[in-house]
Amino acid sequence: MQPVYTPSSQQGVNNSNEKSQYTLQRPVFLIPVRQTKSNELVHIPITNNLKSFLLLSGFLYCLWGIIIFSIQLGIVVNSYSNYYYGFWTGVFLDIGGIVMMIYGLKLMAPVNRLIRMLIFISLPCLTGFIYTIVNYCMTSPCQSTTSTYLCDDSLFRNLKLSLLIVFSLAAVHTPMNIFYLTKEYNRALKQSYPTILNS
């Protein structure tokens, strides 16, 4: 490492009042920090607790995505609704769950990327939750286009209520994941770079 010398004011050699510009002082060493292509891409170690959390949360996301997709498929097949928000929200949840489980199997990972992905996933969850409430309250009980005998009001209400419950679970679980991962990310950074974060 190259020392960096700071300017100082000292008396000249001939006892004059002139001040020298650069004199040899105690060197200040600059600690190099490993830079990546993205300045915000920092890999932190995946501890056992974080690994268990990522695997469990990823599994729950995949499970909820499959349930939401299946319920929406049941609603559409039975012609109770023409809305398809459960399909794309289920796909987003499945992708997020798979990514979380992949991160849980690594030794080190950029958890800040995972936090940004969860923030992105929370938007479809919240949108699907709002659409489900509106669809549950505003639509008529039966909208079967084939036959009125095939339309079951209780099945319609149960499917919509199940979709609403699963959406609410996913919408509540996502901020909890973001909070926990942010806490773990900051803790790992403080252990690795204590002087940088405290300054």
Q: Is the pLDDT of residue 103 over 60?
A: yes
Q: Nearest CA to 128 among 168, 162, 159? A: 168
Q: Which of 41-45, 49-53, 108-112 has the lowest mean pLDDT?
A: 41-45
Position 196 scores a pLDDT of 46
Helix (H, G, I), strand (E, B) or coil at 18: coil
Position 98 scores a pLDDT of 94
Q: Is the pLDDT of residue 51 over 60?
A: yes
Whether 17 and 98 map to the same domain: the answer is: no
Q: How many domains does the chain have?
A: 2
Position 63 scores a pLDDT of 94
Q: Nearest CA to 163 among 141, 132, 139? A: 132
**Mean predicted confidence (pLDDT) in 50-63:** 93
Q: Is the pLDDT of residue 40 over 70?
A: no
Does a structural domain hold residue 39?
Answer: no
| Cβ proximity of 96 and 111 under 8 Å | no
Does a structural domain hold residue 36?
Answer: no
Position 31 scores a pLDDT of 35
| Cβ proximity of 44 and 188 under 8 Å | yes
Q: Is the pLDDT of residue 39 over 70?
A: no
Whether 48 and 126 map to the same domain: the answer is: yes
Q: Nearest CA to 124 among 160, 161, 84? A: 84
| Owning domain of residue 20 | 1-30
- State pLDDT tens for residues 112-131: 888 999 999 888 888 888 88
Q: Count other C-beta atoms under 10 Å from residue 143's C-beta.
A: 14
Whether 151 and 62 map to the same domain: the answer is: yes
Whether 91 and 154 map to the same domain: the answer is: yes
pTM over 0.75: no
Whether 25 and 97 map to the same domain: the answer is: no
Whether 65 and 142 map to the same domain: the answer is: yes
**Mean predicted confidence (pLDDT) in 70-76:** 85
Position 58 scores a pLDDT of 92
Whether 71 and 103 map to the same domain: the answer is: yes
Whether 48 and 25 map to the same domain: the answer is: no
Does a structural domain hold residue 38?
Answer: no
